[in-house]
Structure 1
Amino acid sequence: MMTTKKKVIIVTASVVILGLGVYFLTKTNKNGKSVLGGNKKYIDEGDINLVPTFSASQKVALLYDAMNRYSGTDETQIFETLTGVSQAQFRLISKTFGLKNYNRILGYNAIGGSKLPLKTWLREELNDADYNLLRKKFPMYL
């Protein structure tokens, strides 16, 4: 039969061991990782998407900004925006772009323009070599 003193020692030791276990399992270092390792990931750990999600509306905004400038077209931004875009994605971009007012005399959205699709905006804004390069990449839509 155990004495009361032995029971107290066993219970105390169990509580201390259990407490230390919980402490080390929940303690994290400055990077938010468990001190004991364990590669568990939590939503708030700041996971980075290695492959960004495609957003046609975001691409349209970038293209529109690159072309609708008083100071001239930013061809680099156009090509950077369309880098890695598939035919199907370009179709979505073109559809999302819709018809936007374009003044062919001034070369951007101004009074006196007409509503034109992305294809026409690109044709008006880019030189022949750049436009033909895009036509090779997106032959179904340009």
Structure 2
Amino acid sequence: MDSSKIIPISVGVAGLGILLFAIAQTSKNKNANVYLNHALETENLNVKEQATLLYEAMREVNFTNTEKRKAIFTALTGVTPLQFSLIVKAFGNRYYNTFTGNTSFAIWQNPVKYPLKLWLKEELSNSDYQLLKSKYPKYL
């Protein structure tokens, strides 16, 4: 093969390799930025504490519906969807009596654990739940 044809082909292959390497590095940087943004977004929020605040507000039998609503919305003020997803995970599944709307069970009832989604749906009015659902559509 003529050496005058080999050099342009070699330069083209090398250029393609450099281009692919640059694309791979950009993807790594994007992933690193996503991780960094995730860390920055959640560092000032104690998700376990927020989950506990929500649990305490909703299980409190002496709270009126207005007081429960205020406590729930106060606990979620400024919470981003990413942070909310972590709160949902931290909340996990907890015992809830859908008949009485609290955590007390009669001797004949079988206690069942439910996720935060059901707790919020049961404890809030439909309009308040829809408001939260519009803010956190992936999780409610």
RMSD: 1.3
The Cα of 1:141 is off from its aligned counterpart by 0.2
Matched, 1:114 2:112: yes
| 1:110 aligned partner, one-letter code | S
Q: What's the TM-score, normalizing by structure 2?
A: 0.62
The Cα of 1:71 is off from its aligned counterpart by 2.4
Pick aligned residue for 1:103 from 97, 107, 111 = 97
Specify the structure having the higher radius of gyration (Cα). Answer: 1
Structure 1 segment 6-21 matched on structure 2, within 5 A: none
Q: Structure 1 residue runs of 4+, over 3 Å off?
A: none
CA distance in 2, matches of 1:114, 1:101: 5
Q: Could you tell me which residue of structure 2 aligns to residue 71 of structure 1?
A: 62
CA distance in 2, matches of 1:106, 1:60: 21
Structure 1's unaligned 5+ residue stretches are 1-51
Q: Could you tell me which residue of structure 1 aligns to residue 80 of structure 2?
A: 86
Q: What's the TM-score, normalizing by structure 1?
A: 0.61
* 70-79 or 122-131, larger mean C-alpha shift: 70-79
Higher relative contact order (CA closer than 8 Å, sequence separation 6+) = 2
Structure 2's unaligned 5+ residue stretches are 1-42
Sequence identity of aligned pairs in percent?
A: 42
Q: How many residues align?
A: 91
CA distance in 2, matches of 1:70, 1:54: 27
Q: What's the CA shift string for 1:91-135, capped at 9, x where partnerless?
A: 000000000000011111122331000000000000001000000
Q: What's the CA shift string for 1:7-59, capped at 9, x where partnerless?
A: xxxxxxxxxxxxxxxxxxxxxxxxxxxxxxxxxxxxxxxxxxxxx82010010
Pick aligned residue for 1:60 from 48, 51, 55 = 51
